[in-house]
């Protein structure tokens, strides 16, 4: 059952209430794209995990930046709170209203504006679905430098607004490096056109970085310019079993040394993850009997060269005892089948967890050597009070996804997890959010990662760009006291 704002002890800020004249204005601005039906709105008031729920009475579906500008100018003058929403696939409650904020959906802003085959620069509206962009670019011989389990429904604007990480950050880096420009509408309705298509621009402050990862609290991203790499000609997958996390780490060190520039992903999962995927989703694990599993992907331009490097790595890993079992796909036919099977084992863990009960989710950055210690310590701390405690994630960039399931929500279990998980992370110089953001659920814990001076500066940025606080209120930053 989704938790409402009352669970978190929040009170609605003094924003204006929606009136009939407000509805008349929006209907006149975008006829047929104003949603007020309570049944239709239910889906957009609840997050993907069904863990938080708002009560918005209005959703707007603009198609252009000009319409977004008019909406925000009106809302700013009327002091109406706005909740920007993309594909609503976020995991920290940042994409749904907390109270009755107007939902501003980018669903109809899904136009590809341009693509330059020479430079690999794509310009598109914020509502383009990641998988659709990927399909379009593949036909051009390119790929999006971002891959997520939620690619079938997440929007590129939402990805940028949350600085989404994903499965291939190890190879292509974060969105902070691949996004070249943004078009953003500010709280007062003014449009900021920084939609550059240049690799190099050293003139003044890099304003786009303010909005990447700002979770819709500083402005609404309406268009994106992003640098896309060429599609690799040779892709190989290996799914391996390791007998300990120490072996997982050793395998990664060997992998990085021997595979070098062709290594594009290094994912790890514990056996509990695989048990849940098999039990709840009926997926088949081709490598059984290991406490840990590793999914390795290589991407290159020469299949013979890449296969030789991968074969040498696997031989060394097996003979040295780092890996006890595994399966490999090194040709196009197998790769397509393995993408469905092997990547599904990793990408659908989140889905499997939702079938296991209520899920407490944590997305942490930690020194790689300490990554799994938190899972072990949490299991010992919670004992039988939790149904399952699992760990998986992007080992190549030190990103642990710690998930705890229970039959139902329990406040006492939450108290046992928090703030322990954040204190543990801070003690080991980690970050309480590696890629999901802070959203609604984790905003009050930012101090475990950021010093007070940094938090105060963020609040000053917010006050400068959104002085009335109408954009995605109650999210990302702790409430000022």
**Domain end call among 108, 130, 152:** 108
- Characterise 110 by phi-psi region: left (phi > 0), alpha (psi -120 to 50), beta (else): alpha
Specify the CATH number for the domain of residue 344: 3.30.70.2190
Evaluate whether residue 455 is within a structural domain. no
356 within 8 A of 404, measured Cβ to Cβ? no
Same domain, 95 and 120: no
Same domain, 313 and 401: yes
Cα separation, 181 vs 199, in Å, equals 10
Same domain, 131 and 94: no
Same domain, 300 and 355: yes
Evaluate whether residue 384 is within a structural domain. yes
**Domain end call among 180, 200, 227:** 227
Evaluate whether residue 475 is within a structural domain. no
Q: How far is CA 56 from CA 140, 442, 458, in A?
A: 41, 22, 27
**Domain end call among 108, 136, 153:** 108
Evaluate whether residue 451 is within a structural domain. no
Evaluate whether residue 438 is within a structural domain. no
Q: What's the pLDDT at 198?
A: 86
Same domain, 214 and 241: no
Q: What's the pLDDT at 329?
A: 79
pTM more than 0.75: yes
Evaluate whether residue 147 is within a structural domain. yes
Same domain, 204 and 222: yes
Average pLDDT by consecutive 10-residue portion of the chain (481 residues)?
63 96 98 97 92 95 98 98 96 95 98 96 98 96 91 95 88 92 98 90 93 97 97 91 97 95 94 95 90 94 91 95 88 62 86 93 95 97 97 93 95 95 97 94 95 96 97 89 40
Specify the CATH number for the domain of residue 73: 3.30.43.10
Q: What's the pLDDT at 481?
A: 40
Same domain, 92 and 160: no
Count of Cβ atoms closer than 10 Å to residue 281 Cβ: 15
Same domain, 25 and 78: yes
Q: Which domain holds residue 48?
A: 4-108
- Contacts of 254 by beta carbon, 8 Å cutoff, 6+ apart: 313, 316, 317, 320, 322
Same domain, 103 and 141: no
| Number of domains making up the chain | 3
Specify the CATH number for the domain of residue 120: 3.30.465.10
Q: Please give the order of strands across the beta sheet that includes 102-105.
A: 34-35, 59-60, 102-105, 82-85
- Contacts of 353 by beta carbon, 8 Å cutoff, 6+ apart: 276, 359, 361, 390, 403, 405
Evaluate whether residue 200 is within a structural domain. yes
Tell which residue, 405, 375, 219, 350, has the closest CA to residue 292. Answer: 375
Same domain, 288 and 361: yes
Same domain, 67 and 159: no
Strand partners, 227: 121
Evaluate whether residue 472 is within a structural domain. no
Interior/surface letters 391-407, b for 16+ CB within 10 angstroms, e for the rest? bbbbbbbbbbbbbbbbe
Same domain, 260 and 379: yes
């Amino acid at each position: 059952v989704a938790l409402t704002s009352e669970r978190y002890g929040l009170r609605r800020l003094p924003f204006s209430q929606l009136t009939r004249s407000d509805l008349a204005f929006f209907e006149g601005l975008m006829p047929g794209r104003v949603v007020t039906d309570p049944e239709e709105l239910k889906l957009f008031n609840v997050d993907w995990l069904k863990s938080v729920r708002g009560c918005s009475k209005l959703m707007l579906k603009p198609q252009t930046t000009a319409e977004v500008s008019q909406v925000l100018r009106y809302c700013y003058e009327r002091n109406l709170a706005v909740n920007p929403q993309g594909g609503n696939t976020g995991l920290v409650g940042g994409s749904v209203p907390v109270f009755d904020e107007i939902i501003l959906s980018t669903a109809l802003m899904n136009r590809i504006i341009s693509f330059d085959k020479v430079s690999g620069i794509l310009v598109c509206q914020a509502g383009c679905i990641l998988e659709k962009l990927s399909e379009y670019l593949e036909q051009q011989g390119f790929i999006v430098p971002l891959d997520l389990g939620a690619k079938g429904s997440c929007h590129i604007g939402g990805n940028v607004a949350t600085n989404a990480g994903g499965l291939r950050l190890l190879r292509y880096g974060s969105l902070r490096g691949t996004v070249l420009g943004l078009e953003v509408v500010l709280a007062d309705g003014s449009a900021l056109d920084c939609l550059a298509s240049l690799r190099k621009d050293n003139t003044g402050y890099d304003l786009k970085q303010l909005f990447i990862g700002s979770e819709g609290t500083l402005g609404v991203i309406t268009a994106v310019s992003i640098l896309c790499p060429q599609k690799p000609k040779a892709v190989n997958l290996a799914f391996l079993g390791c007998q300990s996390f120490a072996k997982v780490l050793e395998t990664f060190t060997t992998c990085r040394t021997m595979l070098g520039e062709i290594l594009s992903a290094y994912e790890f999962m514990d056996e509990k993850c695989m048990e849940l995927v098999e039990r709840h989703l009926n997926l088949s694990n081709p490598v059984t009997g290991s406490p840990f599993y590793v999914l390795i992907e290589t991407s290159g331009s020469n299949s013979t060269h890449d296969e030789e490097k991968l074969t040498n790595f696997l031989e060394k890993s097996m003979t040295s005892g780092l890996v006890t079992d595994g399966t490999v796909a090194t040709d196009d036919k197998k790769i397509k089948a393995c993408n469905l099977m092997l990547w599904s084992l990793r990408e659908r863990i989140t889905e499997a967890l939702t079938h296991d009960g209520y899920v407490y989710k944590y997305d942490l950055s930690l020194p790689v050597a300490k990554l799994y210690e938190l899972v072990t310590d949490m299991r010992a701390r919670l004992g039988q009070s939790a149904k399952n405690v699992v760990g998986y994630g992007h080992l190549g960039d030190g990103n642990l996804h710690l998930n705890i399931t229970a039959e139902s929500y329990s406040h006492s279990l939450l108290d046992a997890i928090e703030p322990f998980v954040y204190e543990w992370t801070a003690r080991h110089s980690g970050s309480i959010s590696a890629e999901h953001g802070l959203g609604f659920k984790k905003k009050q814990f930012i101090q475990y990662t950021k010093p007070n001076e940094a938090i105060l500066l963020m609040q000053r940025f917010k006050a400068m760009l959104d002085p009335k606080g109408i954009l995605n209120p109650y999210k990302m930053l702790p409430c000022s006291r």
